[in-house]
Amino acid sequence: MTAPCYVAAFDPSDMAPGATIELAGQEGHHAATVRRTRVGERIDLVNGSGGRLRCEVGQLGKGILDLRVLTVVQETAPSPSIVLVQALAKGGRDEQAVETSTEFGASRIIPWQSARSIANWRGKEEKGRKKWQDCATAAAKQSRRAWIPEVEAPVSSAQLACALEAQISAGAVALICHEEATSSLPEIAAEAGERYIAVVGPEGGISPDELELFTRVGAKTCLLSAHVLRSATAGPYAIATIMASYASRPVD
């Protein structure tokens, strides 16, 4: 079984095998008190930006662990890079999408206040963003990821169109997940590319005006499945499909 994973602030270039580091605060409390970590156990510390320390527990205090570093690793950024644009949804389905998409390999997550979103963050944007970031961090720890997706500030449809246009101009492939698309996601994902943006609408779907706005700036519509997927599952499905298509490309 892989070692449990905790988040800590550190610079891998400042660490070396044999060094010691302290895990305190909420993460230290969880490791020492909740999980009841013991001396001699192996745990991983990650900094969210690819840094990973493989450590052995030396001493235990009240909510504090003294760790001896065994190995220092700086992992490369995930490839391909997949940004999930997730429309706000009710009933915690958007949070479920964030959690599962993180486990499947999302690089960044953008909350989208779409025209048909029933849920909204107006006046509580920072609270909503923090809740999603906490979901992403917990999912990254559960899946032992050294890279934790950043949840960006929520965007309107107009702001999203501008962001898509800029990213497409820089070489990204923007995919609008839509049940009336004629091209399948595997067909589009099979194209050469290292950067993708997957846009998932709310329960009521993406409006015709939004669809026209996004395709006008160069985004492509894609069909995920023969069946209509929920907002909670469409994003993870898209990410898994892109990952599989990317992995199956012939090596030059």
Joined together, the tokens standing for residue 229 give 């997927």
Joined together, the tokens standing for residue 178 give 């839509």
Please check whether residue 199 is in contact with residue 85, taking contact to mean a CB–CB distance below 8 angstroms: yes
pTM: 0.92
Mapped to the 3 state alphabet, what secondary structure does the chain carry?
Answer: CCCCEEECCCCHHHCCCCCEEEECHHHHHHHHHHCCCCCCCEEEEECEECEEEEEEEEEEECCEEEEEEEEEEECCCCCCEEEEEEECCCCCHHHHHHHHHHHHCCCEEEEECCCCCCCCCCCCHHHHHHHHHHHHHHHHHHCCCCECCEECCCECHHHHHHHHHHHHHCCCEEEEECCCCCCEHHHHHCCCCCEEEEEECCCCCCCHHHHHHHHHCCCEEEECCCCCCCHHHHHHHHHHHHHHHHHCCCCC
pLDDT (tens digit, 0 to 9) for every residue of the chain, 252 residues total? Answer: 689 999 999 999 999 999 999 999 999 999 988 889 999 999 999 999 999 999 999 988 888 999 999 999 999 998 999 999 999 999 899 999 999 999 999 999 999 999 999 999 999 999 999 999 999 999 999 999 999 999 999 999 999 999 999 999 999 999 999 988 888 888 888 776 889 999 999 988 999 999 999 999 999 999 988 888 888 999 999 999 999 888 777 666
